[in-house]
Amino acid sequence: MNEFLTFFKLGLNHVLDLSDYDHMLFLLVLTVAYTFKDWKRVFWLVTVFTIGHTISLILATYGAVSFSENAIRLLIYITIVITALYNIFTAGKTSNKTKIVLLLVAALFFGLIHGLGFASHFKFITSGFESKLLPMLEFALGVEAAQIIIVLVVLVVSFIFQTIFRFNKRDWIMVISAIVLGIAIHIIDMNYI
């Protein structure tokens, strides 16, 4: 039970770490376009992202893929930029089945990239373990729990701004996405260009 809590907390901290907020930025732009009535869609987007995150973590931990950590960090911020731009260009447009399939595929693919960002650290932490699969699953549960926390915060804040402060949904999506886009571009500019 103690080992479960250790890796579960590691997953929570991986997502909720305020000093490394790329995960939070991605979840913010992934979910800002939704409301509580869309909870099933949001749940599936976040869960598919976690599945991709876990798959790449498994592949990297067992040595099936290798990568440059710096390149992965850059790709993580590029996924944030792409998602923010997608929101800006589609804000206010009606949703359809094709759009959700595209979003699920993108969430899976972006999850694969984000999972690689933590792989070397996770590999180091589990270096003394005979089997790394159970700790990975415990870690994934912590990641999913933290993501649900962030999604709930985003949905509550969106509700408050759109209902109490009468912020137009399209404007809300565009403003938040533009802010996140600016942050991501600044980080890319400061660290990778």
What gap in Å lies between CA 102 and CA 90, rounded to an integer? 13
Per-residue pLDDT reduced to its tens digit, 74-119: 999 999 999 999 999 998 776 655 678 888 999 999 999 999 988 8
Contact (Cβ atoms closer than 8 angstroms) between residue 147 and residue 46:
yes
User: In the chain, how many domains are there?
Assistant: 1
Per-residue pLDDT reduced to its tens digit, 168-177: 999 999 999 9
What gap in Å lies between CA 107 and CA 111, rounded to an integer? 6
Residue 41 confidence (pLDDT): 92
Here the tokens at position 101 are: 């399939």
Backbone dihedral region of 174: left (phi > 0), alpha (psi from -120 to 50 degrees) or beta? alpha
- Whole-model pTM above 0.95? no
Per-residue pLDDT reduced to its tens digit, 115-161: 998 888 888 888 888 888 899 999 999 999 999 999 999 999 999 99
Residue 61 confidence (pLDDT): 87
The mean pLDDT of 10-25, rounded to a whole number, is 92
Task: Strands of the chain (E only): list them.
Answer: none
Within 10 A of 172 (CB to CB), how many other CB atoms are there?
A: 18
The mean pLDDT of 173-189, rounded to a whole number, is 97
- Under DSSP, the state recorded for 166 is -
- Counting residues of the chain whose pLDDT is more than 90, the rounded percentage is 77
Helix (H, G, I), strand (E, B) or coil at 132: coil
* Residue 61 structural domain: 2-192
The mean pLDDT of 9-26, rounded to a whole number, is 93
Half-sphere exposure of 4 (CA within 13 A, CB side): 2
Residue 47 confidence (pLDDT): 94
Residue 121 confidence (pLDDT): 86
Here the tokens at position 88 are: 């800006």
Residue 102 confidence (pLDDT): 85
Nearest to residue 124, comparing CAs of 57, 76, 191, 183? 57
Residue 67 confidence (pLDDT): 87
Residue 84 confidence (pLDDT): 96
